[in-house]
């Protein structure tokens, strides 16, 4: 949290309007998540050999050794996030009350919660259905998803760090796509590290769900895995070279990146995820999607 506050405060000196409001809101959410994350919970990381075997075969480490999310603690976390979001997001009164009144505890049981680690999207869809959420109603699927996932993150970050420690530093060439080797989610974004005279700037990817970071090839699409340099390029908003979007013309996918060499402040991927959000519009306006269209890799 010290790093997050340091980076957030630095950005708040230069941004305004909706960007500043979003950062201020999320700073409060990150505080809530930090307190939840700070509780010491048991997790048995996979053996190093098993972890490396899972990595090279493309199996997420959480499928080898899944963290157990305590039901009562998670439901309490959901309540905290829902209360904070209802009070601090500026929602219309009806929507805020609907979020605050939603009975999440009635539709989340131990088995369903265990499935959240394997597939958060499925978990969210199940809860949305059980709550009877409608697109046109005061309680929206997007609000429910935000609360459920925000409450889940702090239960996964500790086990993710332990699983990564068991894995060590694997060969980035073994990965053919940008799925998180720990939880299996698609990479949220990445960063290009500081360059040196002896080595080029390495790329790492980051998972917004479990906060894992892993090395990835510099010339490879994060979404489809193509290595064809003619199909890959970066673009950015004028006057902001530190934040760029990597576009693939083979699968029409994109990934947001922060370039450390061009950044005038420390790097917090949690904060950079917020600050690169405008790049989503840059990419989608030109027909690119965050997942790509399923194009095949060129090896």
pLDDT digits (tens, 9 = 90+) for 266-279: 999 999 999 999 89
Instruction: Quote the mean pLDDT of the chain.
Output: 92
**What is this structure's pTM?**
0.93
Q: Is the pLDDT of residue 134 over 80?
A: yes
The mean pLDDT of 215-226, rounded to a whole number, is: 94
Q: What is the pLDDT of residue 200?
A: 63
- In this predicted structure, which of 105-114, 161-170, 227-236, 287-296 has the lowest mean pLDDT? 287-296
Q: CA 265, 267, 272 angle in degrees (round to 5)?
A: 105
Closest CA to 297 of 204, 169, 179: 179
For the beta sheet containing 254-259, the strands, ordered from the edge strand earlier in sequence to the opposite edge, are 213-216, 203-206, 189-192, 254-259, 243-248, 232-236
Q: What is the pLDDT of residue 24?
A: 92
Please check whether residue 216 is in contact with residue 210, taking contact to mean a CB–CB distance below 8 angstroms.
no
Domain boundaries, the chain: 39-167, 172-285
Q: How far is CA 251 from CA 158, 220, 287, 290, in A?
A: 34, 12, 11, 10
Q: Is the pLDDT of residue 170 over 60?
A: yes
d(CA 53, CA 64): 10
Structure tokens at 188: 């949220």
Q: What is the pLDDT of residue 297?
A: 41
Q: Is the pLDDT of residue 26 over 80?
A: yes
The mean pLDDT of 109-134, rounded to a whole number, is: 95
The mean pLDDT of 254-259, rounded to a whole number, is: 97
The mean pLDDT of 204-231, rounded to a whole number, is: 95
Between these two residues, 91 and 167, which has the higher pLDDT value?
167
Start-to-end CA span in the chain (Å): 41
Question: What's domain 172-285's superfamily in CATH?
Answer: FdhE-like domain (3.90.1670.10)
């Amino acid at each position: 949290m010290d790093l997050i506050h340091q980076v957030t405060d630095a950005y708040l000196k230069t941004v305004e309007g909706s960007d500043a409001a979003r950062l201020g809101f999320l700073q409060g959410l990150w505080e809530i998540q930090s307190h939840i994350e700070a509780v010491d919970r048991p997790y048995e990381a996979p053996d190093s050999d098993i972890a490396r075997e899972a990595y090279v075969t493309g199996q997420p480490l959480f499928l080898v050794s899944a963290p157990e999310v305590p039901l009562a603690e998670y439901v309490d976390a959901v309540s905290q996030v829902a209360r904070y979001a209802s009070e601090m997001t500026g929602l219309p009164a009806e929507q805020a009350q609907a979020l605050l009144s939603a009975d999440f505890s009635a539709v989340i049981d131990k088995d369903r919660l265990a499935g959240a680690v394997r597939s958060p999207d499925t978990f969210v869809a199940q809860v949305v259905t059980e709550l009877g959420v409608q697109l046109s109603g005061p309680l929206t699927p997007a609000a429910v998803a935000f609360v459920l996932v925000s409450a889940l993150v702090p239960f996964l970050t500790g086990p993710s760090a332990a699983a990564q420690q068991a894995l060590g530093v694997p060969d980035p060439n073994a990965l053919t796509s940008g799925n998180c080797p720990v939880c299996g989610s698609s990479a949220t974004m990445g960063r290009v590290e500081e360059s040196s005279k002896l080595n080029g700037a390495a790329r790492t990817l980051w998972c917004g769900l479990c906060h894992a970071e892993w090395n990835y090839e510099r010339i490879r699409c994060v979404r489809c895995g193509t290595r064809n340099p003619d199909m890959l390029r970066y673009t950015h908003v004028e006057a902001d070279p530190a934040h760029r979007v990597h576009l693939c013309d083979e699968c029409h996918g994109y990934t947001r990146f922060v370039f450390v060499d061009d950044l005038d402040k420390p790097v917090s991927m949690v904060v950079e995820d917020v600050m690169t959000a405008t790049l989503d519009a840059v990419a989608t306006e030109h027909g690119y999607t965050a997942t790509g269209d399923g194009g095949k890799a060129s090896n």
